[in-house]
Amino acid sequence: MKNITALFKNDITKKILLFFDENPQCIDTAKGISVWIGCDPDKVQKVLKKLDKEKILISHKTASTQAYSYTNQKDILKKIEKYIKTYERKISR
């Protein structure tokens, strides 16, 4: 997995990671996720593909659609969670 700080530099990536951290049970399409985070679906789709490659998200492919869900890998989850906590602390200051 890439450096999380680098991932958080992209606004859409940051929003997607915060969304999945808040809703880890969610499985949704790029269109759905773009509604939840209020971003352009095409841009969201690109970032989702990238996060799938990074194994932060799991893609569920079918003939007509592709859905994404949060990883189950503990080490990745811990890293992201830790980063988000620090990030939120910074924001609240």
Partner 1 sequence: MSESNGKEKKEFLLRFCGSSAIQLFKEAFSDIVGRKVDSLFFDSEYAPLETKKRYRKKIPNSLKDIKPALLKEIKVFKGSRGKPCLSVPITQGHNIYGFVVILNLRREPDKKELAVMKLFIDLALKDFQKEQELRKLYDTIRPRAIALSTIHTVHRLLTSTLDMHELIERIARLTLQVMRSKYCSIMLLDTSKNYLIPKAVIDLKFNAGSMRKKYRKIKIGAGAICKVARTGKADLSRNSVCVPLVEEDIIGIICARNKANNTPFTKFDMEILLTLAEQAVIAIRNAQMYEEQEKMAYGSIKSLAALLDAKSPHTYTHSEQFVKIVMALAEEMRLSREETTNLRYAALLPDTGKFSIPDEILKKRGGLSREEFSIIKKQHLESLKILKPLEFLKPAMPTIMYHHERHDGTGYPEGLKGKDIPIGARIMAVVDAFDAMVSRKKNMMQATKELEKNKGTQFDPDVVKAFISLSSKQEFKQIFL
Identified binder of partner 1 from the candidate list 27, 40, 53, 85, rule CB under 8 A: 27
Residue 57 binds to partner 1 (criterion: CB under 8 A): no
Residue 91 binds to partner 1 (criterion: CB under 8 A): no
How far is Cα 37 from Cα 9, in angstroms, rounded to an integer?
16
Residue 36 binds to partner 1 (criterion: CB under 8 A): yes
Q: How far is the CB of 88 from partner 1 (least distance, A)?
A: 17
* Nearest by Cα to 52 from 85, 76, 88: 76
Identified binder of partner 1 from the candidate list 18, 26, 39, 84, rule CB under 8 A: 26
* Three-state secondary structure call for residue 16: helix
Q: Tokens for 71?
A: 């990883």
- Cβ proximity to partner 1, 26 vs 87, nearer residue: 26
Identified binder of partner 1 from the candidate list 6, 38, 62, 89, rule CB under 8 A: 62
CA distances from 12 to 35, 37, 41, 45, 74 (A): 12, 8, 10, 10, 23
Q: Tokens for 72?
A: 């189950």
Q: Site residues (CB under 8 A) for partner 1?
A: 23-29, 32, 36, 58, 60, 62-65, 67, 69-70, 72-74, 77
